[in-house]
Amino acid sequence: MSYLLIRPLLFSLPPEMAHHMTLCMLSILHRLYLLKPFIPAHKTDTRRVMGLDFPNRLGLAAGLDKNGEHIAALSALGFGFLEIGTVTPRPQPGNPKPRMFRIPEAEGIINRMGFNNRGVDYLIEQVTRTKFKGILGINIGKNFDTAIDKAVEDYLICMEKVYPYASYITINISSPNTPGLRDLQNNDALITLLGTLKEAQKKLSMAHEKYVPIAVKIAPDLDNAQIKNVAQICIAQKMDGVISSNTTLSRQGVSRYRHGQEMGGLSGKPLFEKSLYNIKILRDSLRGEIPIIACGGIMCAEDANRMIAAGADLIQIYTGLIYRGPRLIKDCA
């Protein structure tokens, strides 16, 4: 109830400002030990996925805490795991503002942030300062000015740096807001990228005496044949997980609303049915050999249950949290 009272005030602010203010407020409340009374109790439902024991199936998707500055506060909300990032080797400002747009009539958000972040070294400083003991995924990408044929070098830099601190690492090759990034989902490019990262994973696991799983985050706009091809490559390269999906370029369900034609990736409720359909294709294509993390348009417990029934091992939320508040965490977990 408390979030429903606060939401009109937050929604009166520009989305990116409200985003920043909310995270800062959560961190302040957490440091003052005032956050817990506002958080509904949740149950533990441990699941072993990718060799890791998750306290519950619900995670926070990448993008909310790009720099890992609010890990402690976010972990107190009841998530079974957190994913921070996307982070790049070098800091970058992202795309010009405004670059985030609410579509409240459809419970959607369009963003064209463009991997704005303070760089991988800054993120690592935040992680080490927090001393978080839960399951932490770190989502990595390439700098906007790195050529696609050199992208693997950026992923290697990030992977080598975050490896000691991550529970798992997500390879983001599916954001629509970095030019050319989605080309890495194509056959030869994907084989090269994942094969190189898998070799690096072997060396890093020996150097650090621990195995950190690698998940691949794909786009929702792939057709059935493309999804099946990505699945086969992930199996062949022995990836540890697939996250489906990132934001969509489709404007189905939002085109008639204000901001519905803004450039960028659409997330939230309009994405759910497409995400659910893709999970079913992935389930059939992966044949249980690689676990699936479902992300895209989950707005209630029923949505979460449908994703799990369709084949997801874990689920993630982001936009649903913006519209429904912390109660969604309890309901889904």
Hey, which residues are catalytic here? 175
The Cα 119–Cα 21 span in angstroms is 21
Note every long-range contact of 308-313, with CB atoms under 8 Å and residues 24 or more positions apart, other chains counting: 308/57, 310/276, 310/279, 310/280, 310/283, 311/279, 311/280, 311/282, 311/283, 311/284, 312/279, 313/47, 313/49, 313/57
Element (H, E) at 328: helix 327-332
3-class DSSP state of 209: coil
The Cα 311–Cα 188 span in angstroms is 27
Distances (CA, A) of 283 to 115, 173, 276, 313: 29, 20, 11, 10
Q: Are 283 and 310 in contact (CB under 8 A)?
A: yes
Q: Per the structure block, which two tokens stand in for 207?
A: 């150097």
Q: 111 — phi, psi (to 5°)?
A: -130, 150
258-283 burial code (b ≥16 CB/10 A, e <16):
ebbebebbbbbbbbbebbbebbebbb
3-class DSSP state of 167: coil
Q: 315 — phi, psi (to 5°)?
A: -135, 160
> In which region does residue 110 sit, left (phi positive, over 0), alpha (psi from -120 to 50) or beta (all else)?
beta
